[in-house]
Amino acid sequence: MAGKDVQNGIDELKEKLWQARRVVVLTGAGISAESGVPTFRGEGGLWRQYRAMDLATPEAFSRDPKLVWEFYNWRRELLTPLVPNPGHFALAEIERRIPEFTLITQNIDGLHQKAGSEKMLELHGNLWWVRCTGCESLVEDRRVPLPEMPACASCNALLRPHVVWFGEMLDPRILNAAYEAISNCDLMLVVGTSGTVQPAASMGVQAKRRGATVAEVNLESTPYSDIYHISISGKSGEILPRLL
Ligand code: BV8
Ligand code: ZN
């Protein structure tokens, strides 16, 4: 996308953004890429000879919980020194200026919270929280790495990462809150997601169907780039601050 088109896209999006009352933003791995977090489908998405998709499943965890915990401990170690980038901070600032704002993220890295985002929904859970496979107790545990085969403090059953694996249902309360926000927004901004994973991938189209203006900010084009009203190609860490 030539610089002029990018600037036109930004100008058009800016105008819509600052006249909107209700804004929803959906983010994916791309918004954390400039913080050094490997995206799922980029080359960084690999760990040893595994693809993230093969390990982020309940089947992988029941077959080899030790291997799956090694994968999540690797991500926890990798994330520890990383910090939010200007794209995260720009969204936190937009949240403060828009009357009704909801951030919906597919990411589990916690960088939005670190950047000051508060009105947000984590569709796929959070890497820093663990849940007991026995008593369902849910705690934030920032030890890096976690002990091998971590056990629940109260019932001693095996803990699992508090994330949504492929093939698992999303938390219905979180999903309903996301659909509520999407159904009533004036503008939806979709940032840094390849639009591969459901149900998040369909949310932009759902917003459009309900009459919202939908804009995309993404490094590459996606299956939705020609469907949304505005599509800006570039790095979210460079584009989003230009909206302020
Ligand atoms: C569900 C947590 C109902 C774990 C994640 C066939 C078989 C099996 C399942 C399915 C199937 N067909 C559909 C499904 C459902 C499945 C699915 O969608 N599969 C896809 C892959 C086909 N979905 C589910 O299973 C969901 N549950 O549907 O429940 C159900 C239940 C039972 C039975 C039937 C139905 C659960 C999905 C949640 C999975 N968990 N994460 C973990 O992280 O370890 S998803 C994972 O992928 C991350 O959360 C990530 O965010 C997400 C999506 O990826 P993206 O965020 O889009 O990242 P990606 O790398 O793909 O793209 C990055 C983009 O950024 C790129 O476009 C790139 O160009 C761009 N970019 C890069 N740098 C920048 C940038 N953009 C801007 N600036 C930059 N600097
Ligand atoms: Zn327990």
HEC assignment per residue over the chain:
CCHHHHHHHHHHHHHHHHHCCEEEEEECCHHHHCCCCCCCCCHHHEECCEEHHHHCCHHHHHHCHHHHHHHHHHHHHHHCCCCCCHHHHHHHHHHHHCCEEEEEECCCCCHHHHCCCCCEEECCEEEEEEEECCCCCEEECCCCCCCCCCECCCCCCEEEEEECCCCCCCCHHHHHHHHHHHHCCCEEEEECCCCCCCCHHHHHHHHHHCCCEEEEEECCCCCCCCCCCEEEECCHHHHHHHHC
CATH annotation of 38-81+127-163: 3.30.1600.10
Give the model's pLDDT for residue 53. 85
In whole angstroms, give the CA distance from residue 18 to residue 20: 6
Give the model's pLDDT for residue 173. 98
**Chain centroid to CA 209:** 22
In whole angstroms, give the CA distance from residue 223 to residue 68: 31
In whole angstroms, give the CA distance from residue 236 to residue 91: 10
* Every domain of the chain and the residues it spans: 3-36+83-124+167-243, 38-81+127-163
Which of 166, 202, 239 has the most ligand 1 atoms within 8 A of CB, as the residue to mutate?
A: 166
Q: Which residues contact 193 (CB under 8 A, 6 or more apart)?
A: 26, 27, 28, 29, 30, 106, 200, 201, 218, 222
**Chain centroid to CA 197:** 11
Pairing type for strands 159-163 and 125-132 reads antiparallel
Which of 26, 27, 197 has the most ligand 1 atoms within 8 A of CB, as the residue to mutate?
A: 197
Q: How far, in Å, from the CA of 141 to the mean position of ligand 1?
A: 24
In whole angstroms, give the CA distance from residue 51 to residue 44: 10
Which ligand is located closest to the Cα atom of residue 166? 1
With the C-alpha atoms ordered 119, 123, 124, 125, is the resulting torsion angle positive or negative? positive
Give the model's pLDDT for residue 49. 75
Whether 38-81+127-163 and 3-36+83-124+167-243 are alike in CATH topology: the answer is no
Q: Domain 3-36+83-124+167-243 in CATH: superfamily?
A: TPP-binding domain (3.40.50.1220)
Give the model's pLDDT for residue 7. 96
Closest-CA residue to 233 (of 7, 39, 44): 7
Segments of the chain scoring below 70 in pLDDT? 1-2, 42-46
Q: Please state the atom number of ligand 1 nearest to the C-alpha of residue 45.
A: 60
Tokens 């026995």 identify what position? 134
Q: Which residues contact 236 (CB under 8 A, 6 or more apart)?
A: 30, 31, 34, 87, 191, 192, 217, 218
Ligand 1 pocket list (CB less than 6 A): 28-30, 33-34, 39-42, 52, 56, 106-108, 124, 163-170, 192-194, 196-199, 218-220, 222, 235-237
Amino acid at 127: L
Q: pLDDT by residue (tens digit) across 79-95?
A: 999 999 999 999 999 99
88 included as an active-site residue = no
Q: How far, in Å, from the CA of 139 to the mean position of ligand 2?
A: 10
